[in-house]
Chain A
Amino acid sequence: MTSSRAAWLFAAPALTVIVVFFLLPVAAAFVLSFTDFDLYALADIRNLRFVGLENYTQLLSNPLFWKALGNTAWFVVLGVPLSIAASLAAALLIHSKLARAPGIFRTAYFAPVVTTLVAVAVVWRYIFHARYGLLNYLLDGLGIDPVDWLGDPRWSMPSIVILAVWKNFGYNMIIFVAALQSIPQDLYEAARIDGSSSWQELRHVTLPMLKPTFALVGILTIAGYFQLFAEPYVMTEGGPLQSTVSVLYFMYNEGFKWWNLGSASAVAFVLFVIILVVTVIPVRLARQEPGR
């Protein structure tokens, strides 16, 4: 057996699965987004008809789709900076020379990352409970009036953001800690000789050195947060007043509640393009910067 033949034999099973169950479906989703794919076509593919851009034009004239886009964008705009700030703060604390037992804190902060999203959404739904919830109890102690966290359309999405920050900050924290450890010590020594304070060190040494990490973490987090689904499904069912209907929640209902699978494919593609645009463009910009 030649090495080349062996290579194909070794790679073939995994590649087959990826092609059949991932890459071909991506291509199929694109094609299906131009069809009236529904229950009839699901039963017999001969019922499938091409409808051109109809799914897309109907989406663009559907107020709920725009609402879902807006809600998702609001979740990303609010959630991504808060998450990254929390991750960076936790990483700086753990990385500090003064921290005792940083390993234990790292484990504690990371624990929510591995938990099951559906289960912690159930837990947080209870914490957010308007009458018996822990959060309102704490606010009560501070003399603040109770908030109807998940029942008030102004607070429903911020509540989901709180859950998301809590659940995810440990992940990026790990990446930040590794980046902090790789900053050469002599940069700090040089800064100290110049008489900089710790604050100046943070601003003029640490943060600039973390720039590539910010880009990486930003892309991963933005792409992840656009895929909001389980939180509204479990905590709010998209409500109140459709304030937590996300793009994927809309796609799920469109596809698997109303069986408008062609239209749902169009939703999936719009989401894909949006994620691509908001994550690839910053990378391109960052690459151009040194040449400026």
Chain B
Amino acid sequence: MKSWLATAVINGVLVAAAIITLFPLLWMLSVSFMPDGMSSVFPPPLVPENPTLANYRELFAQQRMGRYFLNSLLVATVATLFSLLLNGMAGYAFAKLRFAGREHLTRLLLAGLLIPAQVTMIPLFGLMKALGLVNSYAAVIVPATASIFGIFLVRQYALSIPDELIDAARVDGASETRIFRSIVAPLLAPILVTLGIFTFLATWNDFMWPLIVLSDRELQTLPVALAGMAREYVQDSELMMAGSVITILPVLVLFLALQRHYIQGILMGSVKG
């Protein structure tokens, strides 16, 4: 095959695949600006004739979308901040500090990586009920504040911090907390960014656990509220597309801004250390 032809074929396929991949998202955006009922015709229109923000207005005015958005933002932000602190400290301890039982714990936690989170949901619901936390933000936030994945992500990165740096600070009389704050934490910054995006996206997108534990509509996150609306307004495609845009846009923007860190996290997470 001539090389210009090969180049054309490969890039043609790449472009075609990109169009197919992005089309559902672009169409979602386009339909979200259509007036009520416009998309329920055959053939489906590709672009709105008279673009309108009516669907977004209805979502925020009548469907309390603003409230769900803030719920999601609050839950994901608080969970992310705690996850950075807790997993950051633990990951550093597992990488750089010696303590009795470290090897056993490491192996136990690695085995725990195999357990799907859904196994825990029924006892967790009972526990939350006993703690009086069913239908509270805490029920969604607390279990997300630390994870085995998060600890190992930080640990693997922290292993590369030179011991001399930490020992020198100790010789200078710095306390362990101070060493962590002023020496270790800045060095961990890149992996903490990665962990931060992972936690934020995972909490923002999470569905099953919030669905179980947040039956009070006032407290629901976007995916739970959207799923409820999707069952209620089956025919109102324009409204549902606008709801999907509001749900997806923040995480998509966050990913586009920080994608290098996110992809690095996938590659580190998939290489067991």
Contact = CB atoms under 8 A, between A and B. Distances in A.
Interface of A: 1, 3-4, 6-11, 13-15, 17-18, 20-26, 28-29, 32, 37, 42, 45, 90, 93-94, 96, 98-100, 104-105, 107-112, 114-127, 129, 131-134, 137, 140, 166, 170-171, 174-175, 178, 216, 220, 223, 226-227, 229-230, 233-234, 237, 248, 251-252, 255-256, 261, 264-265, 268-269, 271-272, 275-276, 279-280
Given A3-B98, A22-B143, A15 B90 contact: yes
Nearest to A109: B21
Given A4-B100, A216-B270, A271-B116, A13 B89 contact: yes
Given A22-B112, A133-B44, A268 B14 contact: no
A150 to B, nearest CB: 11
Given A233-B211, A264-B122, 6 more contacts: A3-B97, A6-B176, A14-B145, A108-B21, A126-B241, A133-B44
Most buried by B among A3, A120, A227: A3
B202 to A, nearest CB: 10
Most buried by B among A37, A119, A216, A223: A119
B118 A251 contact: yes
How would you classify the secondary structure of chain B's contact residues: helix, strand, loop or mixed?
helix
B18 A108 contact: yes
Interface string B223-263: 11011001100000100110110011001101110010011
B44 A11 contact: no
B90 A14 contact: yes
Contacts of A126: 31, 39, 237, 240-241
B248 A99 contact: no
Contacts of A17: 86, 142-143, 145-146
Nearest to B225: A118
B230 A122 contact: yes
Contacts of A133: 44
B98 A1 contact: no
Contacts of B205: 114-118
Contact of A174 (B89, B211, B266): B266
Nearest to B85: A13
B142 A21 contact: yes
A42 B248 contact: no
